Amino acid sequence: MPLRRRRRTKIIATLGPASSSPEVIERLFRAGADVFRLNFSHGSHADHAERIAIIRALERKVERPIGILVDVQGPKLRVGRFQAGRVQLQTGQGFRLDLSATPGDVRRVQLPHPEIIAAAGIGTTLLLDDGKLRLRVTRQRDDHLETEVVVGGALSDRKGVNVPDVLLPIPALTEKDREDLAFVLEQGVEYIGLSFVQRPEDVAEAKRIADGRAWIMVKMEKPQALENLDEIVRLADCVMVARGDLGVECPPEEVPLAQKRIVRAARALGRPVVVATQMLESMITAPAPTRAEASDVATAVFDGADAVMLSAETAAGQFPYEAVNMMDRIVARVEQDSGWRTLMDANRPVPEKSSADAIAAAARQVAHTIEAEAIATFTSTGSTTLRVARERPDCHILGLTASERTARRMAVVWGVHPLVTPELHSMTDMVAKAIRAAAQEGFAKTGDEVVVTAGVPFGTPGTTNALRVAIVK
Question: Does the pLDDT value for residue 427 go beyond 90?
Answer: no
Phi-psi sector, 43: left (phi>0), alpha (psi -120 to 50), beta:
left
Element of type H or E holding 386: helix 383-390
* HSE-up of residue 362 (Cα within 13 Å, Cβ side): 15
The one catalytic residue among 37, 199, 207, 390: 37
Active site residue 277: yes
Q: b/e per residue, 339-371, with b = 16+ CB within 10 A?
A: ebeebbeeebbebeeeebbbbbbebbebbeeee
pLDDT at position 297 is: 98
Contact 13, 33 (CB under 8 A): yes
Question: Does the pLDDT value for residue 190 go beyond 70?
Answer: yes
Q: What is the mean pLDDT of residues 26-37?
A: 98
Contact 39, 71 (CB under 8 A): yes
User: Other CB atoms closer than 10 Å to residue 78's CB: what's the count?
Assistant: 17
Chain centroid to CA 261:
15
Listed in sequence order, the DSSP H helices in 188-311 are 200-210, 223-227, 229-235, 243-249, 255-268, 291-303
pLDDT at position 459 is: 66
Q: What is the mean pLDDT of residues 16-33?
A: 97
Q: What single-letter DSSP state applies at residue 49?
A: H
Question: What's the pLDDT band for 462 if we cut at 50, 70, 90?
Answer: low
Residues 6+ apart with CB under 8 A from 49: 187
pLDDT at position 296 is: 97
pLDDT at position 473 is: 87
Question: Does the pLDDT value for residue 14 go beyond 70?
Answer: yes
CA distance 230 to 196: 17
pLDDT at position 2 is: 56
Question: What's the pLDDT band for 449 if we cut at 50, 70, 90?
Answer: very high
More confident site: 4 or 85 = 85
Rounded to 10 degrees, the C-alpha dihedral 465/472/64/309 comes to 70
Active site residue 132: no
Mean pLDDT of the chain: 95
Question: Does the pLDDT value for residue 30 go beyond 70?
Answer: yes
Active site residue 260: no
Rounded to 10 degrees, the C-alpha dihedral 395/397/398/403 comes to 180
pLDDT at position 311 is: 97
The one catalytic residue among 9, 14, 124, 277: 277
Name the β-bridge partners of 89.
153
The amino acid at residue 208 is R
Element of type H or E holding 241: strand 238-242
The amino acid at residue 441 is E
CA distance 389 to 92: 53
pLDDT digits (tens, 9 = 90+) for 387-411: 999 999 999 999 999 999 999 999 9
pLDDT digits (tens, 9 = 90+) for 213-245: 999 999 999 999 999 999 999 999 999 999 999
pLDDT digits (tens, 9 = 90+) for 292-333: 999 999 999 999 999 999 999 999 999 999 999 999 999 999
Listed in sequence order, the DSSP H helices in 134-195 are 175-187
Q: What single-letter DSSP state applies at residue 283?
A: G
pLDDT at position 225 is: 96
By CB atoms closer than 10 A (0-12, 13-18, 19+), residue 320 is buried
Beta strands in 280-372 (DSSP E): 307-310
pTM of the model: 0.95
CA distance 367 to 381: 23
User: Which of 330, 247, 336 shows the shortest CA–CA distance to 288?
Assistant: 330
In order of 100, 221, 386, the CA distances from 464 in angstroms are: 60, 34, 11
Q: What is the mean pLDDT of residues 348-374?
A: 94
Beta strands in 130-226 (DSSP E): 133-140, 144-151, 153-156, 161-162, 191-194, 215-220
pLDDT digits (tens, 9 = 90+) for 104-152: 999 999 999 999 999 999 999 999 999 999 999 999 999 999 999 999 9
